[in-house]
Amino acid sequence: MPSKQFSPIQVAVLGFALSLMSLAPPASAQSADQDWSQTLTAAAGQTVFFNAWGGDERINAYIAWAGDRVKEDHGVTVRHVKLSDTAEAVNRVRLEKQAGKTSKGSIDLLWINGENFAAMKAGELLFGPWAEQVPAFGKVDVVGKPTTVLDFQTPTEGLEAPWGMAQFNVIVDDENAPDFPTDLGALIEWSAVNPGRFTYPQPPNFLGTTFLKQAALALSSHPDALYEPVETADFERVTESLWAFLDALHPNLWQRGRNFPASGPAAQQLLSDGETAATLSLFPLEGPALVTADTLNAATVVKGFDGGSIGNTHFVAIPFNSSASAGAQVFANFLMTPEAQIRKQSLDAWGDATVLNEASLSDAQRAALLDATNGLSVSIGPVLPEPHPSWTDALEAAWTQRYGS
The predicted-structure confidence for 133-188, as pLDDT tens digits, reads as follows: 999 999 999 999 999 999 998 999 999 999 999 999 999 999 999 999 999 999 99
DSSP string, 145-194: SGGGSEETTEE-TTSEEEEEEEE-EEEEETTT-TT--SSHHHHHHHHHHS
Contacts of 28 (CB under 8 A, 6+ apart): none
* pLDDT mean over 360-385: 89
pLDDT of residue 30: 56
| Bridge partners (DSSP) listed for residue 317 | 110, 160
Closest by CA to 214, choosing from 280, 153, 140, is 280
Mean pLDDT value of segment 300-324: 96
Give the tens place of pLDDT for each residue, 83-119. Answer: 999 999 999 999 999 999 999 999 999 999 999 999 9
Under DSSP, is residue 289 helix (H, G, I), strand (E, B) or coil? Answer: helix
The span from the CA of 101 to the CA of 335, in Å, is 28
- Whole-angstrom CA distances from 17 to 12, 13, 21, 23 are 9, 6, 6, 10
pLDDT at 277 over 90: yes
Other Cβ atoms within 10 Å of 92 Cβ, number = 16
On the question of pLDDT at 12 being above 80, the answer is: no
Q: What angle do CA 224, 146, 67 make, to 5 degrees?
A: 125
Return the pLDDT at 23: 43
User: Which residues are CB-neighbours of 313 under 8 A, at least 6 positions away?
Assistant: 113, 145, 147, 148, 151, 162, 164, 165, 166, 355
* Mean pLDDT, residues 1-15 taken together: 40
* pLDDT attached to residue 31: 64
Go through 158-187 and write b for each residue having 16 or more CB atoms within 10 A of its CB, e for each that does not: bbbbbbbbbbbbbbbbbeebeebbbebeeb
Sequence ranges of the domains in the chain: 44-163+314-376, 169-311+385-403
Question: CA end-to-end span of the chain, whole Å?
Answer: 94
What is the model's pLDDT at position 400?
A: 97
pLDDT on residue 10: 41
Check residue 145 and give left, alpha or beta (phi > 0: left; psi -120 to 50: alpha).
beta
On the question of pLDDT at 4 being above 80, the answer is no
Q: Do domains 44-163+314-376 and 169-311+385-403 have the same CATH topology?
A: yes
Q: What is the pLDDT of residues 242-270, one digit of tens each?
A: 999 999 999 999 999 999 999 999 999 99
d(CA 22, CA 368): 36
Whether pLDDT at 21 is above 70: no
d(CA 113, CA 269) in angstroms, rounded, equals: 26
Report how far residue 319's alpha carbon sits from residue 204's, in angstroms, rounded to the nearest whole number. Answer: 23
Q: Does the pLDDT of residue 364 top 50, yes or no?
A: yes
Categorize the per-residue pLDDT at 405 as very low, low, confident or very high, splitting at 50, 70 and 90: low
Assess if CATH 3.40.50.2000 describes domain 44-163+314-376. no
**H/E element holding 300?**
strand 300-303
Identity of residue 122: A
CA distance 162 to 113: 9
The amino acid that residue 154 corresponds to is: T
**pLDDT single digits (tens) 125-135:** 999 999 999 99
Entry field: residues in the chain: 405
Banded model confidence at residue 14, pLDDT cuts 50, 70, 90: very low
Other CB atoms closer than 10 Å to residue 5's CB: what's the count?
A: 6
The Cα–Cα gap between 320 and 93 comes to: 8
Q: What is the CATH number of domain 169-311+385-403?
A: 3.40.190.10
- pLDDT per residue as tens digits for the range 291-306: 988 999 999 999 999 9
* Cβ partners under 8 Å of residue 23, min gap 6: none
pLDDT band, residue 82 (cuts 50/70/90): very high
Report the mean per-residue pLDDT for the chain.
Answer: 91
Q: How confident is the model at residue 380 (pLDDT cuts 50, 70, 90)?
A: confident
| Local confidence band at 13 (pLDDT 50, 70, 90 cut-offs) | very low
Residue 343 confidence (pLDDT) above 60: yes
Query: Do the Cβ atoms of 77 and 67 come closer than 8 Å?
Result: yes
pLDDT at 18 over 60: no
Q: What is the pLDDT of residue 353?
A: 92
> How many whole angstroms separate alpha carbon 243 and alpha carbon 249?
10
Tens of pLDDT, residue by residue over 188-230, are: 999 999 999 999 999 999 999 999 999 999 999 999 999 999 9
- pLDDT exceeds cutoff 70 at 6: no
Whole-angstrom Cα Rg for the chain:
25
